[in-house]
Amino acid sequence: MVAKLLDGKAAAAAWEAELSAKLRGLPSPPKLVLVRVGDDPASGIYVKKKIEMCAKIGITSELVHLPENTSEASLLSRIASLNADKSVNGILVQVPLPKQIDALNVQKAIHPFKDVDGFGPKSMGYLLMGRPRFVAATPAGIMRLLQHYSLSPAGRHCVVVGRSNIVGKPLAVLLLQDDATVTIAHSKTKDLAAITKQADFLFVAAGKANLITKAMVKKGAVVVDVGMNKNRMGKSCGDVDFKPVSSVASFITPVPGGVGPMTIMSLMANTIKAREFQNQKE
Ligand code: NAP
């Protein structure tokens, strides 16, 4: 078997067209404020890509770039001003944050109707209750990618490798809501291969290059690789040993060009949704 590609660029382009049409129907564009603290180079690239997509699709964006030594109190006060600013629909604080700042305090501070990253406790709570408002961009993008290829996880055994708050946990909840039977694996899981081998749908978000080999994948499985790593040659790669696994999987995401483009588009969708929440009561 040679797996078909789950082409995130194509799926994101289709989604972009849908969102652009929605934006054209609005009286004025929504506004997203991106807050970056410090000079982490990877964060710089992610923020730039998000701003570029805003410009392309017709969302107004603004970058607030604060120095590395910004105190938590000063960041929280900046967020309070953005919460109060009626012209701002969505607020995104790029992670990772410098060590003097507790990310949870920041996520709690963002108004729940402006929490376009979906990392805040209210957004996470609503998701867990089965009434999602803002869903974290990567898991939401993955669900959309599956839909684009008419792949339904309902009734299937889905294995999620990784349990972070921003990818693994919300993804597992979304799959459960779509009637999948879900297993979550992590670094303390014993005999990972025995678990992954049972997966009809395998999602890998561990951040470990080549963690998943061909021997760990069931024939015909759908494989979604969230990982973003650099291999020994400095080339981008995911967590899945792509070529050998492609020979057993039925569908597989490339890295790059799989989950990444869907993540950015999810953020655009969440910003448009934030605009719809404006003026509503909590
Ligand atoms: P994270 O916070 O570091 O979480 C990694 C998770 O993987 C943890 O739950 C960890 O288990 C688990 N893990 C690590 N090594 C493992 C192993 N050997 N076997 C089984 N589980 C293992 O990372 P994240 O933020 O979720 O991101 C995961 C990856 O996705 C990274 O490569 C990141 O760059 C990428 N990513 C991509 C996108 C995109 O748009 N494409 C978006 C977000 C993230 P413990 O909990 O036990 O430590």
| pLDDT tens digits, one per residue of 221-237 | 999 999 999 988 999 99
pLDDT at 280: 76
Instruction: Summarize pLDDT for 153-171 with one digit per residue, the tens.
Output: 999 999 999 999 999 999 9
In a domain, 44, yes or no: yes
- Do both 33 and 95 map to the same domain? yes
In a domain, 172, yes or no: yes
- Do both 87 and 199 map to the same domain? no
187 lines ligand 1 (CB under 6 A): yes
Which residue bears the tokens 């890998």?
Answer: 204
Nearest CA to ligand 1 atom 24: 164
Count the domains in the chain.
2
- Do both 96 and 179 map to the same domain? no
Instruction: Summarize pLDDT for 40-76 with one digit per residue, the tens.
Output: 999 999 999 999 999 999 999 999 999 999 999 999 9
Pairing of strands 181-185, 201-204: unpaired
Testing ligand 1's pocket by substitution, the residue of 186, 192, 231, 265 carrying the most ligand atoms inside 8 A of its CB is: 186
For range 191-215, the mean pLDDT: 98
For residue 33, give the CATH number of its domain: 3.40.50.10860
- Do both 79 and 146 map to the same domain? no
- Do both 164 and 254 map to the same domain? yes
Ligand 1 geometric centre to CA of 69 (Å): 27
Instruction: Summarize pLDDT for 8-35 with one digit per residue, the tens.
Output: 999 999 999 999 999 999 999 999 999 9
- Do both 144 and 97 map to the same domain? no
Domain extent, residue 216, equals 136-260
- Tell which of 77, 111, 145 closes a domain: 111
- Do both 229 and 195 map to the same domain? yes
In a domain, 218, yes or no: yes
- Do both 149 and 240 map to the same domain? yes
Ligand 1 geometric centre to CA of 28 (Å): 38
In a domain, 16, yes or no: no
- Do both 103 and 150 map to the same domain? no
- In the chain, pLDDT over 90 holds for what percent of residues? 95
- Do both 88 and 35 map to the same domain? yes
In a domain, 206, yes or no: yes
Nearest CA to ligand 1 atom 1: 164
- Do both 175 and 253 map to the same domain? yes
- Do both 216 and 176 map to the same domain? yes
In a domain, 10, yes or no: no
Phi, psi angle pair for 38, to nearest 5° = 90, -170
Query: Would the pTM count as exceeding 0.85?
Result: yes
For residue 198, give the CATH number of its domain: 3.40.50.720
CB 202 within 8 A of CB 221: yes
